[in-house]
Copies of this chain bind each other. A is one copy, B any other.
Amino acid sequence: MNILICNDDGIDSPGIHALAKALKEVGKVTVVAPRTEQSAVGHAITMKIPLRVTEYYKDGKFFGYAVDGTPADCIKMGIRNILKFSPDIVVSGINNGSNAAINIIYSGTVSAAREAAIMDVPAIAISVTNHDAKDFSYAGRVAQKLTKLVSEKGLETGTLLNVNVPDVPEDEINGILLTKQGKSKWDDIYEQRDDPYGKKYYWLTGKLMDVDTQLETDQFAIKNNYVSVTPIHFDLTDYKTYEYLKSWNL
């Protein structure tokens, strides 16, 4: 099995090294990842400037290809110019910090997997629910399990699995749940500060408004120590509103 790996935390982040290690047990792994951290870049792609690709070594050993672009760029570049064929699966992560509910929209990790789905390659995005996570061993085994499952059973073209793993000791995990995207979202606040020259600048912060209360949502599942697996796609059509808008007689 040919596995293409990407992330948004950058090619030197511990999560992608843990993911590569875990998936080398189930297939041939190629790593193509951003040279630098690309969190919250969403599905940005680079068109106005060219990309560079360099080989990245860790402890004197070749690890993968670093692209000075976004996660979605890495998938396009990885499939078109590095592999030059479609891998059997793309796995993106392991991300530091959950990508559930509204965060799916902002996530570079998810967008890498989504770009794969756009290119008709089955894909998984996987995150651990802690920005300072240190131990990726259980999440690595979840990635192994789901990679094998997707490979055996297949996924509808254009669909990817968004996986979130609670950052708790493995014996506190309550199981793996199939979920839907939750509705929790951010209450944004811009902190206003003055720079050393007396000019104002604004820094985005805020808190998550946690409105999900059902185990069938990603946000509530991870809060209750379940691994959450959400199938997502890139058909953004709102079919309910589509029906409603017929009455507008545009």
The answer for the CA separation of A149 and B250 in the assembled complex, in Å, is 9
Instruction: Report the minimal beta-carbon distance from A207 to chain B, rounded to whole angstroms.
Output: 13
Decide: B41 and A47 in contact? CB cutoff 8 A. no
Instruction: Report the minimal beta-carbon distance from A76 to chain B, rounded to whole angstroms.
Output: 5
Q: Which residues of B contact A229 (CB under 8 A)?
A: 245, 250
The yes or no answer to A62 lying at the interface (CB within 8 A) is no
The answer for the CA separation of A246 and B229 in the assembled complex, in Å, is 11
Decide: A77 and B250 in contact? CB cutoff 8 A. no
The yes or no answer to A42 lying at the interface (CB within 8 A) is yes
The yes or no answer to A85 lying at the interface (CB within 8 A) is no
Cβ < 8 Å to B, chain A residues 96-142: 102, 104-106, 111, 114, 118
The closest CB in chain B to the CB of A227 belongs to B250
The yes or no answer to A61 lying at the interface (CB within 8 A) is no
Decide: A39 and B43 in contact? CB cutoff 8 A. no
CB within 8 Å of B: which residues of A? 37, 39-48, 50-53, 72-73, 76-77, 80-81, 102, 104-106, 111, 114, 118, 149, 153, 155-156, 159, 176-178, 180-181, 185, 188-190, 192-193, 199-204, 229-242, 244-246, 248, 250
Partner of A156, one of B47, B237, B238: B238
Q: Which residues of B contact A114 (CB under 8 A)?
A: 105
Known A50-B203, A181-B237; judge A176-B250 contact (CB<8 A).
yes
Decide: A44 and B45 in contact? CB cutoff 8 A. no
Decide: A45 and B50 in contact? CB cutoff 8 A. no
Decide: B232 and A237 in contact? CB cutoff 8 A. yes
Decide: B190 and A80 in contact? CB cutoff 8 A. yes
The answer for the CA separation of A193 and B50 in the assembled complex, in Å, is 9
Decide: B156 and A240 in contact? CB cutoff 8 A. yes
Decide: A242 and B178 in contact? CB cutoff 8 A. yes
Known A105-B43, A190-B81; judge A201-B241 contact (CB<8 A).
no
The answer for the CA separation of A124 and B143 in the assembled complex, in Å, is 39
Decide: A180 and B232 in contact? CB cutoff 8 A. no
The closest CB in chain B to the CB of A233 belongs to B238
